[in-house]
Amino acid sequence: MKFRVLSTIMIVALALGISVAGYTQGFPLGLLPSPPSNGEPISVFVWTDTSVVNVGDEIVIHLQISRPAFIYLFDLQPDGLVRLIFPNAFSPNNYVTSSSYDLPDGPYNLTVTPPAGIEEFLVFACDAPLPIPVGSAQDPFPIYATDATEAINQLVALFGSLEQVPTWGMGWHAIQIVGGKEVEQADEEVTLPAPPTQPPFSSRPTQAWYLEGGTWRMGIPASGWYWYFDVNARWHLCLVVN
């Protein structure tokens, strides 16, 4: 992803996506520590309005959280680099009190740039702030790691260094970028099961449903696909990987 300033507007080169049946990279979510059992886990979701984006498109990232929390949004680019895009130098206050929050939230846009491929997002919501440096005016969206494995190792080490692990939640989303040169993927391909079709019913806002043995069950599975019904009465396909 590239970053450039036009007048006072920061153009953030992003590309986002939807979970697909097979992909060649991704955050190994199963390596992350489990939320503490002595606190109510925070539910957090991240998504975009489209599943496929073209180079040059401007996009909006939507966040949904169950209660006020400190938000950290990481971006895994198709070339493997991992950046911290929220908080950032233009929007350093990442304590979100609203149940719904959209990015960009300041004087910058999110614009898709090459290379083409799958771009992924990992969002953390915590009760306490994490010691993660925010970007500067010279580098407002800093590189957090050179690949997904390094990023996860740093996050695991960070949680392990805390005297008291805060209650937290996590969400993941990805979309496909088209219109630019593809990035060659060297990682071993991981095949995911086909996602279920959208539930044939409406739900209460903030509820999640997953399919088990042909029956829809309310909640989030230990691993696999599920559907989330947001406050605007829209369904969103989500994935848990363990």
User: Can you list the domains of the chain with their CATH numbers?
Assistant: 3-188 (2.60.40.2550), 193-242 (no CATH)
Encode pLDDT of 148-184 as tens digits.
Answer: 888 878 887 887 788 887 888 888 888 888 886 666 5
3-class DSSP assignment, residue 223: coil
CA 204 from centre of chain: 23
Tell me the two tokens of residue 50: 């489209």
Least-confidence region, from 31-35, 89-93, 209-213: 31-35
pTM over 0.85: no
Encode pLDDT of 79-95 as tens digits.
Answer: 889 999 999 988 999 99
Tell me the two tokens of residue 79: 């070339």
pLDDT, mean of residues 204-213: 83
3-class DSSP assignment, residue 149: helix
- The total of other beta-carbon atoms located within 10 Å of residue 117's CB is 24
25 has which bridge partners?
Answer: none
**CA dist., res. 56 & res. 48, Å (int):** 16
- The total of other beta-carbon atoms located within 10 Å of residue 184's CB is 10
For residue 222, give the amino acid letter.
Answer: A
